[in-house]
């Protein structure tokens, strides 16, 4: 039957209309200011000053327009490299070595004093104990062969642990580790 509900998928919409009409009372939004964009981004998650600058500059804004906005946000307490660095350290602690976390902070453009302050929270932690706990969570048993041993070594090294710490972890786990074989 033409015109029935079963055929609505095949019938074209009436002339001048669409399947999903837009209400006419909806007004077009004015373009958002740089400050509004920055606050919107910061409402979702913490950003470093360098990251937020890059996001705002990507919209085509000039450096001379972005810098005053970032300074205002810092004065208001919305933007803080220290708070961002502390959040990154909290997120990555226990899963990454201190040097991997420091590298991540440098990559995100965190200022050196803020990064050192945040990394100071990790100073009391024993890197070997962290690596061993991570290894136990991930693997839990000694490697059965050289291929598995290499995989475990690669995993721990990719998380930022020094090769000496990794070899100590594997020795503690009962894997026969030959230092010369891995060099």
The C-alpha torsion from 31 through 35 and 38 to 39, rounded to 10°, is: -100
Tens of pLDDT along 125-134?
788 999 999 9
The answer to whether 79 and 112 are in contact (CB under 8 A) is no
Domain holding 103, by residue range, is 81-122
Q: What is the pLDDT of residue 122?
A: 85
Q: Is the pLDDT of residue 42 over 80?
A: yes
Q: Is residue 168 part of a domain?
A: yes
> Is this model's pTM higher than 0.75 or not?
no
Q: What is the pLDDT of residue 176?
A: 58
The answer to whether 169 and 135 are in contact (CB under 8 A) is yes
Tens of pLDDT along 8-19?
566 665 665 556
Q: Is residue 52 part of a domain?
A: yes
Q: Are residues 115 and 134 in the same domain?
A: no
Q: Are residues 137 and 109 in the same domain?
A: no
Q: Are residues 136 and 162 in the same domain?
A: yes
Q: What is the pLDDT of residue 125?
A: 75
Q: Are residues 41 and 57 in the same domain?
A: yes
Q: Is residue 60 part of a domain?
A: yes
Q: Is residue 99 part of a domain?
A: yes
Q: Is residue 27 part of a domain?
A: no
CATH number, residue 72: 1.10.10
Q: What is the pLDDT of residue 69?
A: 94
Q: Is residue 19 part of a domain?
A: no
Q: Is residue 28 part of a domain?
A: no
Q: Are residues 66 and 92 in the same domain?
A: no
Rounded to 5 degrees, what are φ and ψ at 124? -75, -15
Dist CA 52 CA 42 (whole Å): 9
Q: Are residues 109 and 142 in the same domain?
A: no
Q: Is the pLDDT of residue 25 over 60?
A: no
Q: Is residue 111 part of a domain?
A: yes
Q: Are residues 59 and 88 in the same domain?
A: no
Tens of pLDDT along 136-164?
999 989 898 899 999 999 999 999 999 99
Q: Are residues 134 and 159 in the same domain?
A: yes
Tokens 């104990």 found at: 129
State the total domains in the chain.
Answer: 3
Grade residue 30 by pLDDT with cuts at 50, 70 and 90. Answer: confident
């Amino acid at each position: 039957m033409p015109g029935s509900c079963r055929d609505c998928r095949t019938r074209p919409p009436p002339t001048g209309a669409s399947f999903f009409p837009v209400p006419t009372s909806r007004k077009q939004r004015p373009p958002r200011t740089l400050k509004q964009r920055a606050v919107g981004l910061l409402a979702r998650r913490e950003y470093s000053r360098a990251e937020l600058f890059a996001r705002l500059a990507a919209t085509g804004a000039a450096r001379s327009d972005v810098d005053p906005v970032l300074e205002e946000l810092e004065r208001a307490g919305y933007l803080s490299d220290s708070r961002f660095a502390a959040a990154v350290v909290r997120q990555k602690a226990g899963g990454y070595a201190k040097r991997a976390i420091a590298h991540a902070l440098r990559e995100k453009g965190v200022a050196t004093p803020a990064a050192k302050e945040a990394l100071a929270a990790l100073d009391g932690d024993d890197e070997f104990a962290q690596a061993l706990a991570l290894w136990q969570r991930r693997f839990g048993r000694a490697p059965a062969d050289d291929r598995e041993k290499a995989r475990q070594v690669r995993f721990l090294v990719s998380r930022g642990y020094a090769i000496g710490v990794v070899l100590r972890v594997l020795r503690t786990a009962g894997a026969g580790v030959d230092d010369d074989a891995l060099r």
